[in-house]
Structure 1
């Protein structure tokens, strides 16, 4: 699939920026600039093309990795991979090197290049001097999509690669079978033009990025990493479905419902109690505790009143204090003075006469008047 996409994208590729090579570049792996940052044009003025800012270049690098898959982008001689190795025709194109790794820098996208022995000798002998990259871009906006490959050449020329692109993937009957196969791989109708092809490829790249994110990976994840992550998720999902007694193809909602039902129906009664029963038990315990506290409060307050350490008028206050803080109530009662009999009498409401003391009752007896008459006299005196 990746090979088909790579071939299809060649319909929109160009090569413009060239990197001069020296003999030093042939010594082991070397980082070389593949495309510049920002907007640029070809030597003959074609373009402009743009790689955008650093974030955009990271996306280009990610697209390049996805298109390459498990392979490494090739560096050939004079774009022979485009000129000589024509699908359906034949031809060979030896590699001069391989792009082992991509790196985004402030001034562009770089590739770590590993040269072949023959290419290293050619560079040392100054038989080749320039690196000419080939990249895919949108036809109308010039936005660079991905880097396809690069070539060792001494004539980095836009026209050269434009002809090569046409030879590789002409939209005519000479390679119509290949075109049909690639269009079918992209689910496109026969005869779809370049704009439709590029749009489909963009959608493919966007979908790949979305899948990587959904699988918990970064946007730059390689296809094999994405595949591994997705396979793991599918395998785990299948295990959950089977454990719930469902088919491996069961939907997520069905799996969740089945698991919840299984848990609800297989609770060990020796270890777990329904939440409703626990709540009811807690309510009962709370009511019992409140009842016991109320009884103790009533008993303590009555005892304090009987001993003369709490006035009857303060009974409700004493009950509330005992319930709120028993220790504080006991401290208050322990330090309170003992009240006299008149002080302990409950004051009457307005309009009512207080009960007579023993001394007053003795006066009534001596004078031969009733207690009620004496109360009336006391009330009249109080008003006066």
Structure 2
């Protein structure tokens, strides 16, 4: 705006599409602390920002507004009671209380970082000023806040926002009492007792997250045990397969030797005996079949007496039988076949 009107001038001298707004209201109250904050709240959360005296404006896109403010080439002036808004002959002045170097959008509104002058910081500490009021431009048609012109230290803020200092200087003590109560300690517990209780809680929490050794094991140990079990199962399966091959060979070779199975049919019976059920059927079949061909000598002549052929000796050894035991079993099988 090229020229700012005095408080007594009508609104007709202002721009048609935008209006500058001064955030004044009736006096507030409350105690102040000595701290001088670097960050202060300049707008409450939108999208509708209403003043205490009934006016309402809109900030529908706070991120965009903040970006526009931060993009300005000059820092935003912080003055006293909006005095820089008025011309000198209307009682105004441009004395700076500080300069706004950055703004950011937060969940509760828009905040500004202020570099205070020593005088302003002292006046805040002396409780001469407690609140912040923004001077901004709005779009007349939409009521949308479009620019930030200045920020003022005031005692009559139009917006309900965070003050420059807490209204309760003993808030820290109240917080400590609340923490002590939550930890099950007396309200007057000192800092050392509170920290010790927090440490105990952390230890208990860590212990609760460690599973008992009798129910759980570390992942590396589990993987090692699983690998050993898998290897053992594989080895056992190989042993069982080899043992089954020996048993199948013994049963079918005995049947061939007894003339119950023709030598040319041996591969067929071996294939049938590949499964547990098939092996049981082959054993029953070989036990019940009568001789269909002449006695076959396997692996050479079958000497009389207790002498075994090489094949028969191998079968006897795989079955855990001595030569005599195998000869006896063979004789019993042949006697049964001939009966």
TM-score range, shorter chain: 0.3 to 0.5
Max radius of gyration: which structure?
2
TM-score by length of 2: 0.38
Which TM-score applies when normalising by structure 1?
0.33
